[in-house]
Amino acid sequence: MPDSFFTHSPEWRWWIVFYFFIGGIAGGAFALSALLRLFGQPGDRPISRLGYFIAFPGSIISGLLLILDLKRPERFWHMLIQSETFRPAFKWWSPISVGSWGLLAFGFFSFLAFVGALAEIGWLPRGLSGLIQGSLGAVVNVLGGVSGFFLAGYTGVLLSTTNRPLWSDTVWLGLLFLVSGFSTGAALLLLLSWGRNTPTIRWLKELDTWTLVLELVVLVILLASVGTAVLRPVLFNAWGVLLLVGVVLVGILVPILLHFRPVLGRLTVPSAAVLVLVGGFILRVVMLLSSEAV
Amino acid sequence: MAEPMGFFTDTSVCIGCKACEVACKAWNQLPARNGGKVQLSGISYDNTVSLSGIQWRHVKFIEDFAPDRSTGRWLMMSDVCKHCVQAACLEVCPTGAIIRTEFDTVVIQQDVCNGCRACIAACPFGVIEINPETNTAMKCTLCYDRLQAGMVPACAQACPTHSIQFGPISELRQRAQERLEQLHAAGVTQARLYGHDESILGGLNAFYLLLDEPEKYGLPSNPQLPSRNLAPSAALSAAGAVALGLLGLVGLRKQRMDRLAAEERGQGEGSHAG
Amino acid sequence: MAENHPVAFRWVAEAKRRGAKLIHVDPRFTRTSAMADLYVPLRSGTDIAFLGGLIRYMIENEKYFKDYVVNYTNAATIIRDDFQDTEDLEGVFSGLKEAPQGTFQKYVYDNATWQYKRTAAWDAAKAREEALKAATFAEMIQKMVPPPAEKDPTLQHPRTVFQIVRRHFSRYTPEMVEQICGTPKELFLRVAEMLAENSGPDKTTTFVYAMGWTQHTYGVQNIGCAALLQLLLGNMGRPGGGILALRGHATIQGSTDVPTLYHSIQGYMAHPDARRAHDTLRDYILTETRPTGYWANLPKFMVSYLKSMYGDAAKPENDFGYDWHPKINGDYSFMASFHAMARGEIKGAFFFGQNPATSINASLIRRALANLDWMVVKDNFEIETAAFWYKSPEVQSGELKPEQIKTEVFLFPSAQVGEIEGTFTNTQRLIQFHEKAADPPGDCRSDTWFTHQLALRLKKLYADSTLPRDEGFKNLTWDYDYEPGKYPTNTRIQGEPDVMKIWREINGFKTDTGELLKGFGDLKDDGSTTCASWIYCGAYPEEGKFLPANRNPDPDDKPGTHLGWGYAWPANRRILYNRASADPNGNPWSERKKLIWWDAGQKKWVGYDVPDFPATKAPDTPAKPGATGLDAHDGKSPFIMMADGKGWLFVPVGLQDGPLPTHYEPMESPVPNLLYPKWQNNPIAKYYEHERNQLATVGDPQFPVVLTTYRLTEHHLAGGMSRWLPWLAELQPELFVEISPELAAEKGIKNLDLVRISSKRGTIVAKALVTPRLRPLTINGKTVHQIGMPWHWGFMGIAVGDVVNDLGAWVADPNVQIHEMKALLVNVEKAQ
Amino acid sequence: MAVAVSRRQFLKVGGAAAGTAAGALLGLGVDLRPKQVRAQQLRIKDAQVYPSVCPYCAVGCGTLVHVVNGQIVNIEGNPKSPINKGNLCPKGAATYQLHVNPNRLTKVLYRKPYGTQWEVVDLDWAMDRVAELVKKTRDETFVETLPNGKRVMHTTAIYSLGGATIDNEWNHIHQKLMRGLGIVRIENQARI
């Protein structure tokens, strides 16, 4: 029996599934927005603002979900501050520790960007739009983008840094979640800008398609790296079917197909986006719960 | 700093009486599962089933008989936290709740733990779980309170057959070696030690004498630290992030090229509206 | 042993570490088997066949310990010419006759022919007549001394015990053992060889048993058979030898010594009995005293006992109140009493820490409880017995209705061990004191408090009676209240008796000075001493010195007898008959096995234990012809309680069912008795007839499976002290039945399936635990399946389950009336 | 102490020897910080200790009962006892729950003849009532002599069962009371 089968389940269930999903979207969306801000055109701004509007609430929800998942939620601050000495608690080799700081950082930058975006559309004093413009904006975008990428990807690294079946039997999970976060972030942006057809949208569509291809490649490598000794008990069952149908078919292949063959007319893009989101969600469900079921 | 202390569990003399389980619960005031009202597991005489937040000692029963009963053994083993020298739980704990004590044992500080369960997923032996009464992660403390008072841990004191031996690690290792040699001399060639040296997680401060493969007892043959995956996993993710960024940039560049090309063609229709 | 007495097994593990070999003989592969060097399966209830085979092996292969056998046992003694063995009578001994009414038996034995052949003619009846005329008890006893028995130290005479034993066991060949027990011959022979190798001057073997041997209709003979074997191997009275009973209750030994048992009064004296020649004190003494050996002192024990009962009112002129003392007139044992209760002959009952509603043929017991006018239950939890009237299966099924049960029920909550001070006597006869740590909660009271308070109330109720029949009770001494000003102040409980006053009475004192007695050697038969329990005399030798509270263990290195820890009766001796640990000349048999020995310089016995022998009696002391007591023994007779000072291979008196053990089948058996086909069962076994107490026939096709019952490490008895404890309930939460994979396959039963188990008396349901630890055996060419069930469960508490004892039968051993829950016939089928 | 040092040295060597980047990381991943010492409160620190004996089987293991403020807080094996040297079986180890247990009865329960439920009654009342019943039944069923003229002075209509789990002192006074009253159906667990 593989060594990972002598372990106990941490019972990271639905709170964590949603956190990983939403955190991935938020991180991905911010990263996309940052790309558009740093390297795009002024015309890309509306979409990037949309990304900020997604990212900040996403970070708040992420934090809440994470706290709700704690068995002692009132002690969530122990992640950041040592309860005995009140000094900062940071262990770079503990993904949860790093993740907590990462989420905090992401929350901070996405908040700045959120404020900046509100300023851009006139809901807040115009001066605050400097948070996402100019050199200050560049700093916010670079750091926020990096922490967004981090948020999307560390969740997989966290799972791999255990001794659980599947999770710890591969080192590709972080990458997979990162890619998936990016694609679902893009999908949500596409969905929310339903009906528009701008270069930014086309860029997003294109990007999402290639990201999905990359996701499929990473998923295949991941499964191959896990090996059948682990796959048999973990995924050679209903979970595996869900992975194939829900993620590979519905969440990846069909959206790619729709990209090249827009058979649904005006509904093609949003449909594909919805499917990508569904697939991204199912990916988290399968990756977390199939291991939990062992 | 006191000398490293630990358990040597000699399964060859374990009679499966479960005194260790109850003595542990009595001393640490741990509740029975569901108030004691549980169902028969059907797994030999094991009804506590596994280590958990309220089960810090657990006796395993393995019935190993040939169909014609020409050979037959009933293996028993009292399982416990291994108090690894390289402890996975301690490594991943984000709050600092898990500490290494002056006895080289690993203890979860109950007033610090916030129940994130990283340690549960990290432990290669399935030792830790949440105690439903405190909602914190719990496991054997090697009776830290008793150790500080110079007392023997409750389970080791209760164990009637010296299957659970407590003492300084150096002494226990020597005793284990002697016992192993005694058993080998008596023809019990299957006997082996598990976790007595640095080969497993730098050494287990609760190590075992087994009468068969570790897997037979539900022990991983080659347990590792979770951090083995950290660097490669993080590196791949970082590379992925760079790749995705580049993918985006390529797209943006292509977009710009397209626009420039369009402008060159003199078609000024603004496509950026909205 | 590892199953039910894990801490005692500690020492087995220790011995194993030092090279000792462990053999486990059991129908089931248990946690003890798991630790054994050799596990030997056998069919439940065939232990005498197995042990008999070993006896034959030792004799035929001359593996017995000759010096020991010749000097220390009655092997050389010649038995009366008219004695006939089972070999002569095809399965019974001489003296079998029809049983009188009311014994629950078909036959009984007259043991007249089992006696030693005397060197001169002797008329016991005439001697008794003479004795009755004697002035003192000592003179009476003197007149009862018989002439010596005939002996042949060469053991060649055909009527020597040795030759009779040899002939008696000649049928128990390894082949016969295999056919009866189902134990492969090779395995049996390995046991025999290992036993022989590990016995002798330099080594000893010990036998350890529990209910697997006792709970049979020949339970006493099972133990006797082991004793016979151990005497042949020279393993009695020596360190590392003996036969150890693993008893199941904290003071089951104490409650037998200080007997809450109907058949005996203090210190193993027979209860005065209207069916025997016990009419007067002198009759009683003449009937019960063995004139030679230590029992010759019985008059002192008895008179001191009567003094403890009736105090100053017990005088020589009124036979020390003997006439006030009740006499028994029948079998009042557990099953007999419930039989009487089922017939409505018992009106009131007390149940103290015992739970009969889950005991043998429990359904019948629960129905019997409904016949009581009143009952008192005193326990820690609401046990099944207390709740029978609304919660029993019979009420659930509607057969009994609470509105129709007249019984007035009291349930008194009890104090637990940490809340009371007192003593327990463990299975090694060691009396240990436990202190009170805290008050019990609420209205919980010690049982001592209860009985004391009840007695004080009854004393008051009878204070004005002038009826002759109440005279005894009015004279019964009852002085346990603390002296004024001495009552403990750190308690809110009032009315506890003074435990040390109780001990004054148990230990005894001089009636004139009140001075505590130093030991039973101080006892007198003239009323100048009072002592409730002669065997406990000496535990409290002086004020402020209470030996059961001693806590001075030996240091780690030596000698390990721990004479300073607690107090073992008699006289703090740790190994009984330990004179046998030295050879006839008084030297240790070997250096390894030395315990006590004769020190010629000091002219006394010395060593690690208190000698169980007159301290200054030299090994070369000759027996005094015609003397009483120990003077009748020479210096080479270790077994001081026996009339001849020898270990009895052949038992002329004391056993109801024969002087030698004989294999019979359990009352319910799947096969006929191969050894003696004419006698299937113990001919004098008891059977308590009742319509709800039917037995299956031999090889009954409706009940083809052998059921054996047992206990688990995780629970205690009927569960009254374990099934209510969450920590224990979770360890073994539900009733199960252990079934071999072979039987399970045959019956289509899978692990954890619900299984119905039925006997001729009842049906219960349990979860299946299919395990290779059980195995079918081949008995005389026929496959016999055995199943096993632990009997801890009941319908109250946290861990609940059907009552396994519902399956049991009221059949009993004729000596001690123990039942036969270890071998029953049942049927097994899937429940759904 | 020497061992502790060599063990930590091992970790450093192990980390360095791993060579690869991942290996180095792994080495660093192990917590090398100095061990922490944290004072633990021993819950029997100020307890009074009473030597006792296990109430389950007849092995007679020595136990220690710890009491704080009049409450039993712990019961464990007595290391001094030559019988068990501190060891206990699961039952003995659970003795604490025999004392401190929510399922435990603390009041006298009484069920009237033909009653359908328990009533809680006063201890004194119950004792008085039992004494009355004993007297009544004894007086109604007492036999002085049998038809054959043998004197027996007993009643066989009252039955007392139990004792093997209860102190010797109780066994003594109880059998004395019973026999003093002429109650001869006295039994305990020894026979079953």
Is the pLDDT at D35 greater than 80? The verdict is no
- Which chains have at least 3 CB atom pairs separated by less than 8 Å from chain D? A, B, C
Residues in C touching D44 (Cβ below 8 Å): none
Q: Do D162 and C480 touch (CB under 8 A)?
A: no
Residue ranges of the domains in chain C? 41-90+159-248+580-665, 686-830
Which token pair is B58?
């657990």
Mark the binding-site residues of B for [4Fe-4S] cluster, compressed into ranges.
14, 17, 20, 24, 81, 84, 89, 93, 113, 116, 119, 123, 140, 143, 155, 159
Specify the DSSP class assigned to residue C432.
Answer: E
Task: Report the residue of A87, A93, A96, A160 to disrupt the D interface, i.e. the one with the largest count of D CBs within 10 Å.
Answer: A93
Is residue D23, in this structure, part of any structural domain at all? yes
Q: Which residues pair with C234 in a beta bridge?
A: none
D112 and D186 fall within a common domain: yes
Which token pair is C114?
């089992």
D119 and D173 fall within a common domain: yes
Q: Which residues pair with B46 in a beta bridge?
A: B43
**How many of the other CB atoms lie within 10 Å of CB of C512?**
8
Looking up tokens 């569901």, which residue turns up?
A: B34
Q: How large is the average pLDDT for residues C351-379? A: 97
Q: With an 8 Å Cβ cutoff, is C773 touching chain B?
A: yes
Q: Do B40 and C2 touch (CB under 8 A)?
A: no
Q: What is the pLDDT of residues C237-283, one digit of tens each?
A: 999 999 999 999 999 999 999 999 999 999 999 999 999 999 999 99
Q: With an 8 Å Cβ cutoff, is D26 touching chain A?
A: no
The whole-number pLDDT of residue B13 equals 96
**What is the count of structural domains for chain D?**
3
Q: Which CATH architecture has domain C686-830?
A: Beta Barrel (2.40)
- What DSSP element (H or E) covers C13? helix C6-17
Q: Which residues pair with A143 in a beta bridge?
A: none
* pTM listed for this prediction: 0.94
Q: What is the least distance, in Å, from the CA of B125 to any CA of chain C?
A: 22
The CATH classification number of C41-90+159-248+580-665 equals 3.40.228.10
Q: Do B247 and A210 touch (CB under 8 A)?
A: yes
Q: What is the pLDDT of residues D142-188, one digit of tens each?
A: 999 999 999 999 999 999 999 999 999 999 999 999 999 999 999 99
Q: Which residues pair with C605 in a beta bridge?
A: C598
The whole-number pLDDT of residue D25 equals 40
Alpha helices (H) in B44-168, listed in sequence order:
88-92, 118-122, 144-148, 154-158
Which residues of chain B have a Cβ shorter than 8 Å from any chain C Cβ?
Answer: 13, 15-19, 21-22, 25-26, 31-40, 42, 44-45, 47-48, 63, 65, 67, 69, 72-76, 160-162
Q: What is the pLDDT of residues C454-479, one digit of tens each?
A: 999 999 999 999 999 999 999 999 99
User: Lowest-pLDDT range, A250-264, C488-502, C722-736?
Assistant: A250-264
Residues in A touching B273 (Cβ below 8 Å): 198
Single-letter amino acid code for the residue at A254: V
Residues in D touching A93 (Cβ below 8 Å): 25, 28-29
Q: What is the least distance, in Å, from the CA of C772 to any CA of chain B?
A: 7
- What DSSP element (H or E) covers B74? strand B72-80
Is residue D43, in this structure, part of any structural domain at all? no
Chains B and D lie in contact, requiring 3 or more CB pairs less than 8 Å apart: yes
Chain centroid offset of residue D143 CA: 41
A208-to-A189, C55, C391, C652 alpha-carbon distances in Å: 10, 90, 70, 102
Pick out chain B residues at pLDDT < 70: 1, 266-274
d(C-alpha C137, C-alpha C39), whole Å: 54
- Which chains have at least 3 CB atom pairs separated by less than 8 Å from chain C? B, D
Q: What is the pLDDT of residues B131-181, one digit of tens each?
A: 999 999 999 999 999 999 999 999 999 999 999 999 999 999 999 999 999
C333-370 burial, b if ≥16 CB within 10 A, otherwise e? Answer: bbbbbbbbbbeeebbbbbbbbbbbbbbbbbbbbbbbbb
Specify the DSSP class assigned to residue C430.
Answer: E
Q: What is the pLDDT of residues C542-575, one digit of tens each?
A: 999 999 999 999 998 778 899 999 999 999 999 9
Is residue D127, in this structure, part of any structural domain at all? yes
Query: Is C802 in contact with C757 (CB distance < 8 Å)?
Result: no
Q: How confident is the model at residue C507 (pLDDT cuts 50, 70, 90)?
A: very high
What SS3 class is residue A169? helix
Nearest to A76 by CA among A105, A100, A107: A100
Q: What is the pLDDT of residues C64-114, one digit of tens each?
A: 999 999 999 999 999 999 999 999 999 999 999 999 988 999 999 999 999
Task: Report the residue of D170, D177, D178 to disrupt the C interface, i.e. the one with the largest count of C CBs within 10 Å.
Answer: D170
Q: How confident is the model at residue D36 (pLDDT cuts 50, 70, 90)?
A: low
The whole-number pLDDT of residue D10 equals 37
How many alpha carbons fall within 13 Å on the CB side of residue C776?
18
d(C-alpha C777, C-alpha C602), whole Å: 59
The CATH classification number of A3-292 equals 1.20.1630.10
Chains C and A lie in contact, requiring 3 or more CB pairs less than 8 Å apart: no
The whole-number pLDDT of residue B1 equals 63
**How many of the other CB atoms lie within 10 Å of CB of C442?**
13
- Say whether domain B5-223 belongs to CATH 3.40.50.300: no
Q: What is the least distance, in Å, from the CA of A91 to any CA of chain D?
A: 9
Specify the DSSP class assigned to residue D187.
Answer: E
Q: How large is the average pLDDT for residues C699-715? A: 97
Instruction: Output the tens digit of pLDDT for each of chain A's 294 residues.
Output: 788 899 999 999 999 999 999 999 999 999 999 999 999 888 889 999 999 999 999 999 999 999 999 999 999 999 999 988 888 999 999 999 999 999 999 999 999 999 999 999 999 999 999 999 989 999 999 999 999 999 999 999 999 999 999 999 999 999 999 999 999 999 999 999 888 888 889 899 999 999 999 999 999 999 999 999 999 999 999 999 999 999 999 999 999 999 888 888 888 899 999 999 999 999 999 999 999 887
D88: CATH = 2.20.25.90
Is the pLDDT at C764 greater than 50? The verdict is yes
The whole-number pLDDT of residue B273 equals 39
How many CB contacts within 8 angstroms connect chain B with chain C?
114
Query: Is B257 in contact with B250 (CB distance < 8 Å)?
Result: no
D70 and D123 fall within a common domain: no
Q: What is the least distance, in Å, from the CA of B75 to any CA of chain C?
A: 7
Single-letter amino acid code for the residue at B212: D
Average pLDDT score, chain C: 97
Is the pLDDT at D39 greater than 80? The verdict is no
User: Lowest-pLDDT range, A85-89, C321-325, D70-74?
Assistant: A85-89
D3-to-A5, B107, C651 alpha-carbon distances in Å: 33, 20, 65
Residues in C touching D107 (Cβ below 8 Å): 413, 442-443
Q: With an 8 Å Cβ cutoff, is D32 touching chain A?
A: no
Residue ranges of the domains in chain A? 3-292
Is the pLDDT at C10 greater than 60? The verdict is yes
Containing structural domain, residue D126:
108-191
d(C-alpha D105, C-alpha A279), whole Å: 59
